[in-house]
Amino acid sequence: MNTTSDLALITPDGVRRLIEVLTARGYRVIGPTVRNGAIGYDAIDGIDDFPVGWTDEQDGGYYRLRRRDDAAFFGYAVGPHSWKRYLHPPQLRLWRAERSGDDMRIIDEDDEPPRDAFIGVRACELNAIAIQDKVFLGGPYVDPHYRSRREGIFVVAVNCAVAGGTCFCASMGTGPRVGSGFDLALTEIVHDGAHRFLVECGTDVGAQVLTELPHRPAPPSDIEAARAIIERTAQSMGREMPATDVPALLRRNLEHSRWDNVAERCLTCGNCTMVCPTCFCTSVEDETDLSGATAARTRRWDSCFTMDFSYIHGGSVRSSTRARYRQWMTHKLSTWVDQFGTSGCVGCGRCISWCPVGIDITEEVRAIHEGECDGDDS
Amino acid sequence: MCLPMQSDPMQPVPVRVLTRRREVADTWTLELEPGDAAGRPFAPGQFNMLYVFGVGEIPISLSGDSADPHRQVHTVRAVGPVSRALAALSPAATVGLRGPFGQGWPVEAAAGADVVLIAGGLGLAPLRPALYYILSRRARYGRVALLYGTRSPGDILFRRELERWRRRLDLEAWVTVDYAGSDWVGCVGVVTNLVPSASFDPADTVAFVCGPEVMMRFAVAALQKAGVDDAAIHLSMERNMKCAIGHCGHCQFGPLFVCKDGPVLSFERIRGLLSRKEI
């Protein structure tokens, strides 16, 4: 474990050097960058690719980039991408089959994945990765595709210096301070003097990488400044999950009238499931070439909001919007706990910002909580 | 064909069709190679994922004898694109196989008790391995009753075997149909009507039920009425199973993944879910 004496200070040039060091060590460096009017995670070559001086404004169904009055690298909350895009890719060719007469061969298609270094992983996202670890690595069956991607990663976490308008990690106990699961953790300080980053090492590899960067011991004043920044972020969350036993609340209220209410707003578009950093559901698609000699199976992200998702002979188990929204939310916040021993929600707020009609998961829980007497079986 | 165990549970093993037999108009039984020289051991009530080249993959329960892991027997009703393609395969054709998956019937835990097996339609297929298991260890169980309901006498699965079972003196085998002509001497009516006729001690009975969900609800009600405890009633549930390993999410049934927590689930565990719409 690190003590405060292990904390170091690096400059923006140190971050530039960090990307070089990681690249030299063979990592593909993935970090935040501006894409299509939003901050996403993509391969980056250097600090110029960061969203320097950008921040975001977020609310229910609302996400806009805004200029900051400084040159901060990490002065925003989370965008539509999450790291699951790299660990659990949206589309993945699983295998290919070849047929010749009555014979069939099945050929593994997933090549050796790149070794990724993730820069700018937030506390909520570290928790999301830990949750997907339980899904894909923690049960009787291990997903080898997830494992091969997950094993090699180098994680540079960032303590959030601003809370987004839809953030609620503080009420989920998943942030804004990063806890574990990182190699290095940065806290960006842009005020009171030079632009600088407090660095904490989480692993031996992280400590080795730090030795290759120009750094100096962090003065107590900067350690205190970083603490205050994280504290202020925690105090300025845009949303809050009601402080109640949410899994039990939802278990008791499967027939609450609020499900009908939300069904009138929900478009069942599935955006919430695509942007959620923990939603893991997939489907497979088989394709065949025109000659009929080769076929291939691709796994792609799927969403419990589609009719196909629960289809069995005779029809969909969940054909109403009410049932599909209820499935998503009760899974995320309640049955996930039964399945994996943790909530499936990390309070990142993406599902609120990217919902085209601005449905707010914290507001839906609050409505069920406050209107519990409406429930027919409460 | 001898292949090593796959490290990727999503990757099928190619196996050959050994035999194919028509059971009734739309239902065939396929016997497949195990794809492993050591066989592919399974427990009664488990299922395999079967892939037809270029068509797709579906879960099919094992309907053969678990004492013979060298024969993977599946009884398939041709209702969708994949099941129709499966049913049309001729011997020597190759299919992709993954499995076995899921939790089967608690045949060991039922030892010592009376056992009632209630099957509706194709639901007899996943129950047959349980019956084989019990009959091959007959002395370890109390009274055993098989209650089977199907649409018409022409839809009776495994007919010759059922006739053999009916001749046994250590097994009560009842067959009922929804409708029949004058050549039918058996019962007419829903399978749950047979529950009061079967002889078992409700206080010491384990029930295995498989059939359409609505039939299973009525079967549970009939068993409860007879005095069988909720924890002693086991149902084989059907949900959309794509991956069979609890990773794809499709088969969720409340907190359960039917593919890995089921398909056989005790009624006690799913009491609050089975009665609810669209769970």
Q: Outline which parts of chain B fall under CATH 3.40.50.80.
A: 114-274
Min CA distance, A348 vs chain B (Å)?
22
Q: Under an 8 A CB cutoff, do B250 and A302 touch? A: yes
CA distance A138 to A117: 23
The per-residue pLDDT for A4 is 45
Q: What is the spatial distance between Cα B258 and Cα B220, in angstroms, rounded to a whole number?
A: 19
Tell me which residue of A373, A366, A364 sits closest to A260, measured CA to CA: A364
Tens digits of per-residue pLDDT, B8-27? 899 999 999 999 999 999 99
State whether B94 and A339 contact (CB < 8 Å).
Answer: no
The whole-angstrom separation of Cα A24 and Cα A81 is: 26
Residue A374 scores a pLDDT above 60: no
pLDDT at A373 (0 to 100): 61
Tell me the binding residues of B for [2Fe-2S] cluster.
Answer: 243, 248, 251, 259
Query: A336 vs chain B: nearest CA distance in angstroms?
Result: 7
Give contacts of A293 with chain B, Cβ < 8 Å.
Answer: none
The residues pairing with B173 across neighbouring beta strands, listed in sequence order, are B146
Q: Which of residues 82-101 of A touch B (CB under 8 A)?
A: 94-95, 97, 99
Cα of A318 to nearest chain B Cα, Å = 5
Instruction: Decide if A319 touches B, using CB distance below 8 A.
Output: yes
**CA gap A233, A162 in Å, rounded:** 5
Identity of residue A239: R
Mutate one of B60, B239, B277 to test the A interface: name it (highest A CB count within 10 A). Answer: B277
> In Å, how far is A86's CA from the nearest CA of chain B?
17
Q: Looking at residue B51, what is its pLDDT?
A: 97
| Rounded average pLDDT over A290-311 | 95
- Res A345: pLDDT: 98
What is the tens place of the pLDDT at every residue in A123-167? 999 999 999 999 999 999 999 999 999 999 999 999 999 999 999
The nearest CA of chain A is from the CA of B52 a distance in Å of 10
**Gap between the Cα atoms of A220 and A3, Å rounded:** 12
Cα angle for residues B22, B27, B31 (degrees, 5° grid): 60
> pLDDT tier at A57 (50, 70, 90 boundaries)?
very high
Closest B-chain CA to A336: B255
Q: Does A296 touch chain B (CB under 8 A)?
A: no
Q: In this predicted structure, what is the pLDDT of residue A33? A: 98
Dump pLDDT digits (tens) for B73-98.
999 999 999 999 999 999 999 999 99
What percent of chain A has pLDDT above 70? 97
In chain B, residues under CATH classification 2.40.30.10 are 13-101
Q: Point out the residue among B54, B246, B254 whose CB comes nearest to the CB of A141.
A: B246
Question: Taking all residues of chain A, what is their mean pLDDT, rounded to a whole number?
Answer: 95
Q: Per the annotation, where are the binding residues of B? A: 243, 248, 251, 259
**How many helices (DSSP H) and strands (DSSP E) are in chain B?**
5, 15
Contact B247 A143 (CB under 8 A): yes
Model confidence pLDDT, tens digit, residues A246-270: 999 999 999 999 999 999 999 999 9
* pLDDT for residue A2 is more than 60: no
Q: Which of B56, B252, B276 sits opposite A254 (nearest CB)?
A: B276
Mean pLDDT of A324-348: 98
Whether A27 shows a pLDDT value over 50: the answer reads: yes
The burial class, CB within 10 Å (0-12 / 13-18 / 19+), for A26 is exposed
Q: Which chain B residues are within 8 Å of A255, Cβ to Cβ?
A: 276
The verdict on a CB contact (< 8 Å) between B260 and A141 is yes
User: Which of A106, A303, A308 is most worth mutating to test chain B (most B CB atoms within 10 A of its CB)?
Assistant: A106
Question: What confidence category does residue B7 fall into, taking pLDDT thresholds of 50, 70 and 90?
Answer: confident
Q: Check if the beta carbon of residue A156 is closer than 8 Å to that of residue A118.
A: yes
Which of B57, B92, B278 has the CB atom closest to A319's CB atom?
Answer: B278
3-state secondary structure chain B: CCCCCCCCCCCCEEEEEEEEEEEECCEEEEEECCCCCCCCCCCCCCEEEEEECCCEEEEEEECCCCCCCCCEEEEEECCCHHHHHHHCCCCCCEEEEEEEECECCCCCCCCCCEEEEEEEHHHHHHHHHHHHHHHCCHHHCCCEEEEEEECCHHHCCCHHHHHHHHHCCCCEEEEEECCCCCCCCCEECCHHHHHHHCCCCHHHEEEEEECCHHHHHHHHHHHHHHCCCHHHEEEECCCCCCCCCCCCCCCEECCEECCCCCEEEEHHHHHHHHCCCCC
Asked whether the predicted pLDDT for residue B3 surpasses 70, the reply is no
Residue B132 has pLDDT above 70, yes or no: yes
Confidence of residue A222 (pLDDT cuts 50, 70, 90): very high
Centroid of chain to Cα A177: 15
Global ipTM: 0.93
Q: Is A307 on the interface with B (CB under 8 A)?
A: no
Q: Tell me the per-residue pLDDT of A101-124, one tens digit each, with 9 for 90 and over.
A: 999 999 988 778 999 999 999 999
Cβ–Cβ of B255/A284 closer than 8 Å?
Answer: no
The share of chain B scoring above pLDDT 70, in percent, equals 98
Q: Which amino acid is at A112?
A: E
- What are the residues whose beta carbons fall under 8 Å from the beta carbon of A227, sequence distance 6 or more? none
pLDDT at A196: 97
Among the partner-chain residues A145, A254, A335, the one whose CB lies closest to the CB of B255 is A335
Q: Considering the domain B114-274 in this protein, what is its CATH number? A: 3.40.50.80
Residue A287, min C-alpha distance to chain B (Å): 6
Chain B residues with CB-CB distance to A103 below 8 A: 14, 94
**Looking at A2-16, A49-63, A211-225, A360-374, which range is the least confident one?**
A2-16
Per-residue pLDDT tens digits for A181-198: 999 999 999 988 899 999
Across the interface, whether the CB atoms of B250 and A310 are under 8 A apart is answered yes
Task: Give me the residues of A, 191-250, that contact B with CB < 8 A.
Answer: none
For domain B13-101, the CATH superfamily is Translation factors (2.40.30.10)
Best interface-test mutation with B: which of A104, A273, A282, A299 has the largest number of B CBs within 10 A?
A104
What are the tokens at A93?
């060719």
Is residue A324's pLDDT more than 70? yes
Higher confidence at residue A33 or residue A292? Answer: A33
Q: Given a cut of 70, is residue B5 above it in pLDDT?
A: no
Contacts of B14 in chain A (CB under 8 A): 103-106
Residues in chain B within 8 Å Cβ distance of A140: 245-246, 260
